[in-house]
Structure 1
């Protein structure tokens, strides 16, 4: 694990981040991880973000987890999802320029609010080859024409983002896509962290690990 900082172009803001690397020689595929809502306690040490990071490194994939603006030691303040998309774009730019990272094998993942950010940014950023979102807020018609591999994971007992709404929105997403509904899990995934981490890591291992 290496602590690094993300400089946001044009704003002067600096975000705190950690680059988590496998314990074998690189270069590695890499995935940017986007945490839950900044105004409701979300940060880069969230249970799902850490579980995914651990599972990725166990599968030979690096991860860059960071705090959105205004969270922890990251500068700035909450920017209604728009600024947070800029944060994720900057995180991707930083990741592809790390010497241990193969810039041709890049993904993005997010949880809850971070899932919305990951879907939006992954749709438009050309360096992103694959997208994963856990319990995401899904804007209408997002990724309708995006042909990048996509993984959407939601809990059957989620009472914050109803699984019915997730299934409705994912139905309109272009292929290839994998949609997983996990029985017994709610929005916070307590007790299911390892399962979610393994699902996300297995997905990225398939789509990023080989050229």
Structure 2
């Protein structure tokens, strides 16, 4: 899978891009957890999300936010990171001008950034939000949430507790015109150490079903 370097708001951004042969393949952008707590594009959850989307026929890009790995810049409290994500999506779209649909998936901090990107980019039609830290960040910007998607978290997550995630899900489910699917992985912590395969299987099942439904 080729390493790519593309322009971001504060200099170059480092990514990994895995295309499909089909010119109209859907595209997916994968966002990593918090840069100041060891989050990178090579995080196991992010890596496995990347390959899950590729197996489902997507051209996929994951990348390092500013200040991580070979990406230039410094951590910017989520503001700059949202700009980084927008630049990454621009790059992915430029590489796939015929893409028939666009998804975003994020883990933890990346889930928060991904949901903000969803609000700003109407071409995003689906999302996967893994362990969104609803206890740490304000998700009230999702008013209304513009697309249907999957929220998935661990039952034993102490970083993003299940009760806080449930409150976010309940709020989003009151909105009309979208469908929020919520899955809780029994026994799983924040990083899905022993339950990663189960979590990824749930993501694949959801995305596959959505793609089939959209094709009808």
Instruction: Please report the TM-score for the alignment, with normalisation by the length of structure 2.
Output: 0.88
Superposition CA RMSD, Å: 1.8
**Are 2:102 and 1:103 equivalent residues in the alignment?**
no
Q: Answer whether contact 1:147 1:176 (CA < 8 A) is retained.
A: no
Residue from 69, 72, 75 that aligns with 1:75: 72
Q: Answer whether contact 1:57 1:63 (CA < 8 A) is retained.
A: yes
* Larger relative contact order (Cα-Cα within 8 Å, sequence gap ≥ 6): 1
Which residue number corresponds to residue 186 of structure 1? 189
For structure 2, list consecutive stretches of 5 or more residues without a partner in the other structure.
none
**Are 2:173 and 1:206 equivalent residues in the alignment?**
no
Count of aligned pairs between the two proteins: 207
Secondary structure of 2:210 counterpart: helix
Kindly report which structure 2 residues correspond to 1:112-191, keeping only aligned pairs within 5 A, or say none. Answer: 112-138=108-134, 139-173=138-172, 174=175, 175-191=178-194
Distance in 1 between the 2:128 and 2:190 partners? Answer: 16
Distance in 2 between the 1:196 and 1:143 partners? Answer: 24
Which residue number corresponds to residue 2 of structure 2? 2
Instruction: Please report the TM-score for the alignment, with normalisation by the length of structure 1.
Output: 0.90
Give the 3 Å change call, closer, same or farther, for CA 140–122 of structure 1 in structure 2.
closer
For structure 1, list consecutive stretches of 5 or more residues without a partner in the other structure.
none
Q: Answer whether contact 2:133 2:159 (CA < 8 A) is retained.
A: no
1:165-211 C-alpha deviation (Å, 9 max, x unpaired): 00011111133110111111000111222222232233333334655
